[in-house]
Structure formats: structure tokens, C-alpha cells
């Protein structure tokens, strides 16, 4: 079940809180963020060029937009971001539940191009169950919350057919992953049930991805691994990584068979050269292309 796979580091930079790796098929490039540093990174695997842009607030998650630029979950709301010089940011929506000391966290689009993201209290030590899950459509409507009472909403993913939604709470006091029936026509999740209890498994559940077999890949934060669970919730693979705190994984590349994993460097020993690194590996499976945000999806 445990497997060693060669990894390649992307650049020498170390992220304080690396998150949201994202393959842009139109550009043939990878993006990810450093939440604490308020930075968006870009890597072109063809040229090897690495660039970065700074934002006015923390960016926790990104999705490409169907026209250009990105939609992002930030501190004060959901924003449209264009990486021009200077960076242009436009607030799209702010939920009423997004109070002081909070921000958006993990997020991605469903298969129809609606953007989903959850909010959290930034000071995890407070263990405040203020986290809520929202949906933003191309018609400019922010809907929800669909799930409330979370500590750290994370692990958002959608099955290949778009009819199952996955969501986790990655706080040490929770460590649960749920599955929902998902109606692709109206974008409403229902029948929440436990998919994985992560307490018996290594690490806390963090960011996730889906492969073509419908298996759920999730970072084992604090355990230095990524774990693959079958659609019935059985662990069938573990890949050990050189960093202790992997934060999110995402499939991409021209064949969608490369897995990029971000990690957290904050609070790790200075001598740990892999802490905060962003890496690539080939796990031997193919992922599902991320759907860009669709400004026609209600």
C-alpha cells in the first residue's frame, strides 16, 4: 500500500502556507498560492520560468475563469483577480458570516463551473466552529451556507460525473471527510454522510484531488504523505513525501498525470529544507481536469 515515488522540486522558494495548486491548461502552466505571504506563484514547466505576484489580502484558493484571470477566496470575500501590472482585484461577494479574524480557505469549481469555498477562523487554536460553505455562480449570486459549524473546511472535490461532492474538516478536533449527493442541475448538495474518519489514518485531512477512477487523493498534513481512498472510502495507497506538512495536491500537465503538492513551511525547523516546498510527482494515475469558473453557470 505504501509506495515511494520520485519527486521533483519546483524552484527553491519556501512557502509559509503553500496552497491551491492549479493547472492552467490554456497556458500550460501551474499556479499556487502562499496564503500568509499574500503571493500567487506561477511555474512554466516548458521554460522552467517561475514568477510571482503580490495581492492586497491573503489568497487561500484559486480557480481559473473561463474568460481570463482567476476567481479567488480571500480575507474579505470572493474576488476576481487579473495578474496585470499592477494586479487588479475586484470583490465579487462577501458573505454575512465572514467576520473579523476570518478568511476563505479551500475552494474549487464544480463540474459546471460554479465556485465553492468555505470560510474559517484564522486562529485555529480558538477552535471556533464558524466555518461555512458557500457557492458562487456566474449570475453573481452567492448562495449558502450549505454547511455550517465547521472548524477548518477543506478537501473540496467532485467525483468524475459531478454527482458526489467531498468536503473535510481538517482541524485536529475534527478530522472528518464527508460525501454528499450533488445535483449538477441546481448545484445543491444533500445527504451528508461520513466518507472517511481520518483519526485512524496518518495526518490531518487537507487539500484533495480526484483521479479518473473516482478515487480521492488527500494530503496527510503532519504525516508527510498523500493518501488515496477508493470511492467506497477504503485506503488503497500511500505515497510518502519529503515534507512533513503537505497541504494540497492537484493533477495537471498535458496528460493530467502529474501531481503537484504544496506544503507548509511556517513553524517548521529552519534546517528542514523541504518545509514549504512545492513538488511534482507521477503517481501512475490520471487526474480530472479542473473546470474553470463559468460566468454562465447559475
- Which grid coordinates belong to 31? 499556479
User: Per the residue annotation, which of 110, 206, 232, 270 is the catalytic one?
Assistant: 206
Q: What angle do CA 57, 59, 64 make, to 5 degrees?
A: 130
Report residue 161: phi and psi, to 5°. -85, 0
Measured between alpha carbons, how far is 169 from 148 in angstroms, rounded to an integer?
11
Measured between alpha carbons, how far is 71 from 20 in angstroms, rounded to an integer?
12
Residues contacting residue 242 through CB under 8 Å, at least 6 positions apart: 7, 224, 274, 277, 279
CB 14 within 8 A of CB 41: no
Q: How many helices (H) and strands (E) does the chain have?
A: 0, 25
Measured between alpha carbons, how far is 86 from 29 in angstroms, rounded to an integer?
20
* 213 among known catalytic residues: no
Measured between alpha carbons, how far is 110 from 184 in angstroms, rounded to an integer?
8
Q: Which are the catalytic amino acids? A: 206
Amino acid at each position: 500500500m505504501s509506495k515511494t515515488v520520485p519527486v521533483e522540486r519546483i524552484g527553491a522558494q519556501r512557502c509559509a502556507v503553500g496552497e491551491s495548486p492549479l493547472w492552467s491548461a490554456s497556458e500550460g502552466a501551474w499556479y499556487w498560492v502562499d496564503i500568509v505571504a499574500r503571493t500567487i506563484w506561477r511555474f512554466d514547466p516548458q521554460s522552467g520560468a517561475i514568477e510571482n505576484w503580490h495581492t492586497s489580502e491573503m489568497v487561500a484558493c484559486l480557480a481559473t475563469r473561463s474568460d481570463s484571470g482567476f476567481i479567488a477566496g480571500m480575507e474579505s470575500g470572493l474576488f476576481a483577480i487579473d495578474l496585470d501590472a499592477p494586479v487588479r482585484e475586484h470583490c465579487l461577494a462577501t458573505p454575512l458570516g465572514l467576520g473579523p479574524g476570518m478568511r476563505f480557505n479551500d475552494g474549487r469549481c464544480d463540474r459546471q463551473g460554479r465556485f465553492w469555498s468555505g470560510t474559517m477562523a484564522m486562529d485555529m487554536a480558538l477552535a471556533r466552529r464558524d466555518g461555512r460553505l458557500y457557492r458562487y455562480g456566474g449570475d453573481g449570486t452567492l448562495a449558502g451556507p450549505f454547511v455550517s459549524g465547521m472548524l477548518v473546511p477543506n478537501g473540496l472535490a467532485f467525483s468524475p460525473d459531478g454527482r458526489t461532492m467531498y468536503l473535510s474538516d481538517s482541524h485536529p478536533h475534527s478530522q472528518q471527510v464527508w460525501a454528499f449527493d450533488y445535483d449538477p442541475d441546481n448545484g445543491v448538495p444533500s445527504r451528508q454522510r461520513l466518507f472517511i474518519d481520518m483519526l485512524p489514518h496518518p495526518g490531518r485531512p487537507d487539500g484533495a484531488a480526484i483521479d479518473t477512477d473516482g478515487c480521492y487523493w488527500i494530503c496527510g498534513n503532519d504525516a508527510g504523505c498523500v493518501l488515496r481512498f477508493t470511492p467506497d472510502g477504503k485506503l488503497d495507497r500511500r505515497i510518502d513525501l519529503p515534507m512533513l506538512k503537505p497541504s494540497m495536491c492537484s493533477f495537471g500537465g498535458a496528460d493530467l498525470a502529474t501531481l503537484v503538492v504544496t506544503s507548509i513551511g511556517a513553524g517548521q525547523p529552519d534546517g528542514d529544507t523541504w518545509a514549504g516546498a512545492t513538488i511534482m510527482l507521477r503517481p501512475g494515475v490520471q487526474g480530472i481536469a479542473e473546470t474553470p469558473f463559468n460566468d454562465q453557470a447559475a
